[in-house]
Chain A
Amino acid sequence: MVSLTINGQKVEVEPEATILQAAEKLGIFIPTFCYDPQLTLVGACRMCVVEVEGMRALVASCCTPVRDGMVVHTDTERVRMAREVNLNLLLANHPLDCLTCEKNGDCRLQDYCYLYGVSESDYKGDRKDYELEDTNPFFIRDMNKCILCGLCVRTCQEVNGAAAIEIMNRGFDSKVATAFNDPLETSPCVFCGMCVDVCPVGALTPKQSIGKGRSYELDTVKTVCPYCGTGCGLELYIKNNEIVRVKGDPSSPVNRGQVCVKGHFGTDFLKNPERLKVPLIKKNGEFVESSWDEALGLVAEKLKGVKGTELAGLSSARATNEENYLFQKLLRSLGTNNIDHCARL
């Protein structure tokens, strides 16, 4: 173990730890844009700079390893100045339309500007003027809001493996794009939307969420994806009895926040108008709406009216364990083992 001091507090960490991780251990906050514990470190944004005694320049805490006896300050005047300048430069190039931006309230650029009192940029210059990419049904890409942290690019390469996007060009013209700067549909993109979940700003917006509520108005419920047998943990964001956004659950030991297109963008079937809402009984070849009482009475009568051997049931690979359990208990209690589900199919 290595021992160091951060803002006057002593902490012991593994020798491979970074200053940022040591600070996290103490509960000391350091702002970051380009850092994600699941991805390779690039040290690109320099938002996380700190002062280390004995070192002339400020260092990026996300990619500077600790050393024994190191003395670190995370919130000095110099550090604050550097972060302010950084934010100032980003704002010079940022459309300040927070009023209508979907990311308002959950945006790291907004949060840090608030923290450091940066409300507009002192730098005047050219602004980016990219067209919105709005051609796929899952999310919108607005590269005018991109701060080039590269999280989406690394997620796509290192987590998904699709490597659909990269940072093209240099300097002012840098832009996250597909190989030929064509829409995502023409690239290896599989619309997992994991890039959307990691973007710290409003550059990538899921369409299902637009106008559906501010992040601070939403309740979160953790559950399990209804699709494949992987069983990814999902976080459902709810407002007014509606799922308005879905993210992978980072605390799930199964998927560690990772998801695919179905789990991420495929839960809106719940509110499809074709959902069954009342019991139906077929009378003279036509379905007629009925009460539960009538429908269940009829079913009970038919289930009781045959011998066990004349009865069969197909249970569901989509229902819960508890429901599958009760289904087989019911059929077995009625005297039949003719129970199956489509595991074989």
Chain B
Amino acid sequence: MTNSIGEIEEAGTLLVIGSNTTETHPVIGYRMKMAQRKGASLIVVDPRRIDLAEHADLFLQLRPGTNEALLNGLIHVIIEEGLVDEEFVRERTEGYAEMEAAVKKYTPEYVEGITGVAADDIRQAARLYAQAENAAIFYTMGITQHSSGTNNVLAIANLAMVTGNVGKRSAGVNPLRGQNNVQGACDMGALPNVFTGYQPVDNRDAQSKFKKDWGVKLPTVPGLTVTEIIDGILDGKIKVLYVMGENPALSDANLNHVLEALDKVDFLVVQDIFLTETAARADVVLPAAAFAEKKGTFTNTERRVQLVRQAVNPPGDAWADWVILQELASRIGLKWNYRGPEEIFREIARLTPSYAGISYERLEKEGGLQWPCPDAGHPGTPYLHANQFSRGKGRFTPVEYQPPAEEPDEEYPLLLTTGRSLFHYHTGTMTRRSGAIDSFKPEELAQISREDAQKFGIGDGDLVKVTSRRGDVKVRVQVTEIVPPGVVFMTFHFHEAAVNRLTSNKVDPIAKIPEYKVCAVKLEKVAP
């Protein structure tokens, strides 16, 4: 997030696009509703009539996979109606002319044809967004999990910059990160191309700094991403896979392909708290401590580093991940000698400019610090890009609408889109094993519209087979007003109905994020 959670209530307009916030980030959802009650305009853009849509001043129900067209349409109206923040564009950005040329053809009427959103609603949304003193955009996987995900993000940046809604309190671009420490995992360099704090692995200065500090030789070319690793296994290039606390056997798109890879790899080590679908395929399983059984830090979606404290002991002979890693390192011949998480954190701060001013002592005293925090006297950074962007000038990038890679046709007439629900979390490793939560929501219900229910002769609660070009699952159906005709919605929390058997692993060419949000399917009623 470029803004902080605490700034949401002061925004003039909130544009929530592709984020079912009240279910995926409930407390942030409370704040959005609070802002709306205090007088902010809330605009919700989503294919489904999600809970937040009920609280919105304006709800734009677009066809799945048409975000860029809508965003371009908003920019078109802003330019046409003279709502551009000219000073901001002049002083802080470059590439405006090309972007302006690109959105020219996205008139509200043209965009209505692509997205199904009424032209007048597009005009009104553009005005509400552009005329607010501070307007903030929020998005989640609804934006990034498309084969055009990177374009979506660029179009969002264009929209924010054209109105100068960046680098201010309560105005900015706010991707909401899904898992509790996904921000931290990225910050720590659990990525193929960067060390901690996004220092590139192919940058000489970064290389020599880490080489010197760690006292080892380091590889200099960026490595493979998750999807490439899976392909690498199937091609026979990757022989050993070490998985710490992830469950790709349920979370990854085109599951059958992933399962094949996990079965094929020569040696699979899985370190986790439960025998997950992935761990069950391992050669060695290492039992790990969970949250509340160890110390350390997490970094939340607003870049706030916070202390995680130990409350109970790990069960049996399970160890904290950092202990396991250190023991393993010593058996490999690396001389690590950390006495505890605090000492590891000191090393992180030493090597990572954006974390340099953060210490356990300060976290204990100040209750969390938001990076960048370059030195011990720095108060942390509630919102980013105050006076300039990290790369100097903000760059507009022209974006063209591309239809989703897989569209419905005669054989597969419906669009499947996937997401999360309030009660469960990710692959269900934790919530499916929480007594109260699992007893309350024990099974997946695929959402379909009344119209489609009628068309395919399916009733509420019926068992159906959902089939895509890649696989099929059986699941019970909920007939609801939430999804529009032509769309099926499922979550990926339930191994019994593993939706990623169906999804496409066609990835965005730049970010390599699979297209979870849209694929074509058909439904048939089956006997229970």
- Which A residues contact B (CB, under 8 angstroms)? 136-138, 158-161, 190-192, 207-208, 221-233, 236, 238, 241-243, 251-255, 258-262, 265-272, 274-282, 287, 292, 295-300, 302-306, 308-345
Contacts and interface: CB of A to CB of B under 8 A. Distances in A.
Nearest to B232: A312
A166 to B, nearest CB: 16
From A158, A159, A270, A298, residue with most partner B Cβ within 10 Å = A270
Contact of B238 (A221, A276, A311, A345): A311
A104 B506 CA distance: 58
B376 interface: no
25 contacts: A137-B439, A229-B177, A236-B311, A254-B302, A254-B304, A260-B422, A262-B437, A265-B437, A269-B433, A279-B285, A296-B286, A296-B324, A296-B327, A302-B269, A315-B188, A316-B181, A316-B321, A317-B185, A319-B185, A320-B181, A320-B308, A327-B321, A338-B229, A338-B238, A345-B226
A266 B431 contact: yes
A336 B430 CA distance: 31
Contact of A230 (B25, B240, B341, B439): B25
In order of increasing CB-CB distance, the 3 nearest A-B pairs are A277-B316, A231-B300, A320-B296
Contacts of A312: 223-224, 229, 232-233, 238, 240-242
Interface string B193-210: 101100001000000001
B422 A190 contact: yes
B55 interface: yes
Interface class of chain A by DSSP = mixed
The contact size tier of chain B is 35 or more
B297 interface: yes
A278 B185 CA distance: 26
A190 B26 contact: yes
A225 B193 CA distance: 29
B241 A278 contact: no
A39 B285 CA distance: 49
A159 B29 CA distance: 10
Contacts of B238: 310-312, 338
B223 A336 contact: yes
B238 to A, nearest CB: 5
B284 interface: yes
A285 to B, nearest CB: 11
A344 B311 contact: no
Interface in B477-528: 511-514, 516
B46 to A, nearest CB: 18
Interface stretch (B108-116, B128-136, B270-278): B270-278
A292 B325 CA distance: 12
Nearest to B218: A332
Contacts of A228: 24-26, 178-180, 425
Given A137-B435, A269-B431, A316 B332 contact: no
Interface in B69-93: none
B412 interface: no
Interface in B1-56: 5-6, 22, 24-30, 33-34, 37, 55
A319 B222 contact: no
A225 B180 CA distance: 7
Contacts of A327: 190, 244, 321, 325
Interface stretch (B98-106, B287-295, B465-473): B287-295
A227 B180 contact: yes
B284 A282 contact: yes
Contact of B283 (A281, A304, A315, A316): A281
Nearest to B368: A253
Interface in B165-221: 176-193, 195-196, 201, 210, 214, 216-219, 221
A341 B286 contact: no
A222 B105 CA distance: 54
Contact of B180 (A191, A226, A308): A226
A314 B248 contact: yes
B97 interface: no
B111 to A, nearest CB: 28
Interface in B376-414: none
A269 B432 CA distance: 8
Given A236-B292, A243-B311, 9 more contacts: A221-B292, A229-B25, A230-B26, A261-B422, A267-B292, A276-B287, A302-B269, A326-B326, A341-B186
Interface in B294-313: 294-302, 304-313
Contacts of A190: 22, 26, 422
Given A226-B180, A260-B27, A299 B269 contact: yes
A175 B34 CA distance: 26
Contact of B320 (A262, A266, A275, A323): A323
A305 B30 CA distance: 52
Contact of B229 (A160, A253, A260, A314): A314
Nearest to B297: A321
B96 interface: no
A317 B251 contact: no
A259 B245 CA distance: 24
Interface in B344-366: 344-345, 347-348
A321 B345 contact: yes
Interface in B407-443: 422-423, 425, 429-431, 433-437, 439-440
